[in-house]
């Protein structure tokens, strides 16, 4: 699976109406940061990434797709998905993720460096069709 700037930035491009041309990734990053400093728009339900939950965080096959309008059904009375907002951040994108989802890095490149290829691998592991659930 190839993950390029257009795929990684498809939501910010759509929500903020950003323009992108091949080879202008640094400009896209700056434009996104500037736009999200001005506003943090709510992401429409139909533009949300796939939301999932796990019956067992240690087991990738215990995944279940969750619809934003079905939180009370999936999580119990009183749970409701209110909104998702999008903003640029300088926070590390994967800090602590391996502690929460220990199986995620089982087949990761073992050189210890986080590179563009690491993110391609991670996006591939987290893609909508990357999970199988137990019936």
Mind listing the pLDDT tens digit for each residue in 22-61? 778 788 888 888 988 898 888 888 888 888 888 888 888 8
**31 vs 134 pLDDT, higher one:** 31
Neighbours of 31 (CB within 10 A): 20
Asked if residue 92 has pLDDT above 80, the reply is no
Asked if residue 80 has pLDDT above 90, the reply is yes
Rounded distance between C-alpha atoms, residue 120 and residue 7, angstroms: 11
Name every residue whose Cβ is closer than 8 Å to that of residue 62 and which is 6 or more positions away in sequence: 54, 55, 56, 133, 134
Q: Report yes or no on whether pTM surpasses 0.95.
A: no
Rounded distance between C-alpha atoms, residue 7 and residue 64, angstroms: 23
Q: What are phi and psi of 63, to 5 degrees?
A: -70, 150
Q: Return the pLDDT at 25.
A: 78
CB-CB contact of 42 with 86 (8 Å)? no
Q: Flag the least confident range among 55-59, 88-92, 118-122.
A: 118-122
């Amino acid at each position: 699976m190839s993950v390029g700037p257009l795929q990684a930035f498809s939501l910010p491009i759509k929500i903020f109406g950003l323009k992108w041309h091949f080879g202008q990734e640094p400009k896209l990053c700056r434009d996104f940061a500037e736009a999200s400093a001005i506003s943090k728009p709510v992401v429409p339900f139909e533009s949300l990434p796939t939301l999932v939950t796990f019956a067992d965080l240690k087991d990738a096959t215990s995944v279940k797709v969750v619809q934003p309008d079905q939180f009370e059904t999936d999580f119990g009375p009183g749970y409701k998905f209110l909104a998702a907002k999008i903003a640029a951040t300088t926070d590390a994108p994967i800090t602590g993720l391996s502690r929460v989802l220990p199986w995620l890095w089982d087949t990761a490149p073992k050189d210890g460096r986080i590179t563009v290829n690491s993110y391609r691998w991670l996006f591939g592991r987290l893609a909508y069709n990357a999970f199988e659930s137990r019936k």
